Amino acid sequence: MITAKAPPPPYTSGFFRKIESGPSPAVETLGLAKLRGINVDGLYRSRRSFVAHARSKPIKAKENTGASLIDDWFKPIQAKDDSDIEECATAFPGKNLPQMSNVGNSTNILWHDCPIQKQDRQQLLQQKGCVIWLTGLSGSGKSTIACALSRSLHSRGKLSYILDGDNIRHGLNHDLSFRAEDRSENIRRIGEVAKLFADAGVICITSLISPYQKDRDACRALLPKGDFIEVFIDVPLQVCEARDPKGLYKLARAGKIKGFTGIDDPYEPPCSCEIVLQQKGSGCKSPSDMAEIVISYLEENGYLRA
């Protein structure tokens, strides 16, 4: 006959001062009433002695719970039959291997589709994702107009995000120079990021010189037709140079900066952009006024509703 021992007193000091032994609903449910008296000292038993003790006096689980609970801890998990294996296999992709792709230097890759698509996100945001690509000379006001546009969209309850050329070069593109090939790579990366924002249903505003037509066309080709809105900030070189907000034209004229757009590197104006914002003569529009021209285009073409 086994005499039940009274549960040990709670630990009152050290790491285990808040640990108490005693009855537990979980213990009763699992049929482990006989284990209630095990205190923290039992945790220091070696695995070998613990297993030997458990197998010599197996603790019976309650009805319909299987064999000895402690025995179950050390049994390998096995499928009941082939149908279980089949069920597990079909729960994850890969049973019927799809055709893998090679893209650039990336080999054996697979595009993974998600049931939540762009239209679902647009419905959630009540707007249509697109890319508004602001292009123009340094000092033409691209960043200022981008901020005014984003502020105007925000006031209408529309979600936008600005990808500013200089800001991106502080992080993602900090490894790129201003050589022609690096400038092309800079535009390509920003185009890919802008594509992701548009796919998320966000109105993405890019603000960068992007001087070469072929690079802008390549970014346009990344998006569905109509989702790339090219905005040319048409400001004469002499006006931009007179503004010279960063002092870069002065450095370029002094020969301290090489390959500066408009001075010793060309800028190719867009051939067929969606919007042209001009600042010529004495009738210069404010950034807010220019932003409203873009807003009007978005409203007329259904971008501000799902």
pLDDT in tens, 11-22: 444 544 444 445
Got the DSSP string for the chain? -PPPPPPPPPP-SSTTTT---S--HHHHHHT-GGGTT--GGGGGS-HHHHHHHHHHSPPPPPTTS-S-HHHHHTSPP--SSHHHHHHHHHTSTTSSPPPPEEETTEEEE-----SS-HHHHHHHHTS--EEEEEE--TTSSHHHHHHHHHHHHHHTT--EEEEEHHHHHTTTTTT--SSHHHHHHHHHHHHHHHHHHHHTT-EEEEE-----HHHHHHHHHHS-TTSEEEEEEE--HHHHHHH-TTSHHHHHHTTSSSS-BTTTB-----SS-SEEEE--TT-PPPHHHHHHHHHHHHHHTTTT--
User: Catalytic pick from 210, 272, 282, 286?
Assistant: 210
Radius of gyration of the chain (CA): 34
Active site residue 21: no
pLDDT above 70 (res 10) = no
pLDDT in tens, 171-218: 999 999 999 899 999 999 999 999 999 999 999 999 999 999 999 999
Q: How far is CA 102 from the centre of its chain?
A: 23
Residue 21: the pLDDT is 46
Residue 76: the pLDDT is 60
pLDDT above 60 (res 8) = no
Q: What is the pLDDT confidence band of residue 80, given thresholds at 50, 70 and 90?
A: low
Q: How far is CA 53 from the centre of its chain?
A: 53
Residue 43: the pLDDT is 45
Owner of token pair 């205190």: 39
pLDDT in tens, 236-295: 999 999 999 999 999 999 999 999 999 999 999 999 999 999 987 666 789 999 999 999
Residues 6+ apart with CB under 8 A from 37: 4, 5, 6, 7, 8, 21
261 close to 138: Cβ distance less than 8 angstroms: yes
Residue 283: the pLDDT is 67
Q: What is the mean pLDDT of residues 133-137?
A: 98
Average pLDDT along the chain: 82
